[in-house]
Amino acid sequence: MDTLALLLSLFVCLIALAVFTNKARAKKQYDKELQPNCLLTRWPLLFVTGQRSFFYFSNYWNIYPSYLAEHGYEVFHLRLPWSNPLLRQSRLIEFLKSQDQAKRKFHMIMDSTTLQEFDTTLRELRPDCVMSITEITGPENKPTTPSLTTPIVPQATIETLPTQKGSFFIKLSYDLHKLLLFGRPLPSLSTLGALESTQLQNARLLLERSQSLAEMDLREGN
């Protein structure tokens, strides 16, 4: 009985940790001083969720989407299934085909692991809806996809700034997330904009990329 009670208590603690840390990341505030005169993209920015688990499922990209939206960019999310590769690929293909049929276009943003996961799919489909691909990576996961040398659309990589500083509980929860998805080269918390000491600097790197995309849209629209 003592062992059962201990296991039950541990289970409850893990659930509480997962719920608390996901909510804590969603509630984080940041300096909202805006950069003036940002050139806006013609096409929306689409953030694609990477692989998730019970310990990291909400607010995958942390402050990045809201930071860009505050600057006037139209931002959307493609929330794929958590971690099953076949389900994730099937959902992506379904989405891309539907966007092509609707003649919609967007700039796709994803982390290195997700780009590696879908590189072959994107090459085979060559969807008209994808106007560009932005890869977000960090020192822990250098870009290695073949598409970097022969891109199907304009492509760029943002290498984020690293840090080890951050909430103990958020880092513990993310370690458990990585343990559940063991063997997959997941991005760091800093790369995903979850740690206060680097999240704003990394968001600004993404803002610079967004302005470059806006210039590209402007040239193509003339």
Task: State the chain's mean pLDDT as an integer.
Answer: 88
Strand partners, 77: 47
User: Using CA atoms, how far apart are residues 105 and 136, in angstroms rounded to an integer?
Assistant: 20
Q: How much is the pLDDT for 165? A: 84
Q: How much is the pLDDT for 145? A: 47
User: Using CA atoms, how far apart are residues 119 and 106, in angstroms rounded to an integer?
Assistant: 17
Band (pLDDT 50/70/90 cuts) for residue 213 is very high
Q: How much is the pLDDT for 147? A: 44
Q: What is the mean pLDDT of residues 172-177?
A: 91
Extract the tokens encoding 78: 């493609």
Extract the tokens encoding 3: 């062992």
User: Using CA atoms, how far apart are residues 214 and 107, in angstroms rounded to an integer?
Assistant: 10
Model pTM score: 0.90
Q: How much is the pLDDT for 150? A: 66
**If phi over 0 gives left and psi between -120 and 50 gives alpha, with beta otherwise, what is residue 193?**
left
Pick 5 or 178 by higher pLDDT: 178
Q: How much is the pLDDT for 222? A: 61
CATH architecture for residues 39-221: 3-Layer(aba) Sandwich (3.40)
What percent of the chain has pLDDT above 90?
A: 65
In the chain, % helix, strand, coil (3-state, to 5) comes to 50, 15, 40
